[in-house]
Amino acid sequence: MYHKKLRQLMMNIFTLRNKHAAKKREVTGFTYRRCNMRSRYIYVFLIIMASVSMYAPQQTIAQNMEDYTAYPPFIASNADPNLLLIIDNSASMYDLAYIDEGTATRQSSYCYDQTYSNTNTYAGYFEKDIIYSYNFTSNRFATGAFPGACSHKMSGELCVNIVSGSPSTVTQFVARGNYLNWLTSSKFDVQKQILTGGKYSTATSEFLPESRGCVGRRFIKEALTANYVEGGTNTSLGVTFAITGPNDSINPTAPSPGGQTYIQIFKGNYNEVLCQEAITAVNDSNNPSAIRVAVSDCLSYDPNATGPSQCTLNPAMSCLVDSECLVIAAPGSCSTGAKKSRTCLAP
């Protein structure tokens, strides 16, 4: 449209110019110059008007999406979509969330882990950068601070103060929240924290962590003097933790069914290699002597040493007859009374 108007306007300009040129030949002197000046003014004015008209705003109309969309007929569903959330509620959720998963060149360890590193963030009920101190009177963790002196410590992460004696006694247990999450968090703890904030007791105003250790048995976690380094030198701190759940209410020797988490602290290093060999011997060997040697190596026990004999099983375990209370150097005995209440007695 703009091009047509401009073309017509230019044709009019040239027509007027030709008329003025013809008239110029008919007039003389002053009249000619006057007409020539007037024609120039008209020519410039028309060019300006043509330029302005090209950029003058035109009428605009908003776009209508109906011009670009089409819906298939007979579709009229206003129902909101369903959300399906699947949650695992099996007993395996009581197992620990953070375990040694191994690498491409190293096989993972079973029920044993020493791979803590403060460069990782471990989810759980503890705030990762808060320092917690265990109160041995109230049997719970509270915010605290690292002591000035500590017999076994990982700087900025863990302090376990052990007073030597018979037996040795733990007097202080202080750790950063991130370390405690690595140590104790179960899959249930992480899941419930995400969904509801965690299992909470209104009676005691505290979170209740839940675990069963390692498939109902103790899960061993060994403390190091520094962050774990894959393929590097990792020095044991001399403290070993065992994470477990509550005992079975009917048979204490049965695997834990899962429930409140318990932390057991042992002085000394856990010899994972020798103890794994002992487990393999118990599972695969039919030679009692080989099993006895492997177990003795795991426990660093010398059966020929002088001193009291040690029961290979828990002296407080349940039993029915004396033969179920085996010891290394001397036979144990089973208490008398009702069968459900009998226990092994130390030799």
pLDDT in tens, 217-255: 999 999 999 999 999 999 999 999 999 999 999 998 899
Provide the pLDDT for residue 309: 43
- In the block, residue with structure tokens 């208490």: 335
- In the block, residue with structure tokens 């065992």: 242
Strand arrangement of the beta sheet that strand 236-244 belongs to: 112-113, 219-224, 236-244, 262-267
Provide the pLDDT for residue 117: 97
Cβ(162)–Cβ(171) below 8 Å? yes
Provide the pLDDT for residue 29: 44
> Which mean pLDDT values do the consecutive 10-residue runs of the chain (347 residues) have?
55 58 48 53 64 58 68 69 84 95 89 96 96 94 95 97 90 98 96 92 91 94 96 94 94 92 93 86 81 83 54 52 53 63 63
Provide the pLDDT for residue 179: 98
Cα-Cα end-to-end distance for the chain: 114
Q: What is the Cα–Cα distance from 45 to 8, expressed in whole angstroms?
A: 15
Residues in the chain: 347
Both structure tokens of 84:
């399906």
Q: What is the Cα–Cα distance from 220 to 240, expressed in whole angstroms?
A: 7
- In the block, residue with structure tokens 């007097």: 171
Q: What is the Cα–Cα distance from 182 to 50, expressed in whole angstroms?
A: 80
Cβ(219)–Cβ(264) below 8 Å? no
Provide the pLDDT for residue 156: 96
31-60 pLDDT, tens per residue? Answer: 444 555 556 666 666 666 666 555 555 566
Both structure tokens of 30:
């002053």
- In the block, residue with structure tokens 């109309």: 61
Strand partners, 266: 240
Cβ(236)–Cβ(217) below 8 Å? no
Provide the pLDDT for residue 312: 47
Provide the pLDDT for residue 272: 82
- In the block, residue with structure tokens 């069914």: 257
Cβ neighbours of residue 183 under 8 Å, at least 6 residues apart?
116, 175, 221, 241, 243, 263
Cβ(218)–Cβ(158) below 8 Å? no
**pTM of this prediction exceeds 0.85:** no
Provide the pLDDT for residue 59: 60
Nearest to 126 by CA among 175, 192, 187, 196: 175
Strand partners, 264: 242
Using only C-alpha atoms, the chain has a radius of gyration, in whole angstroms, of: 44
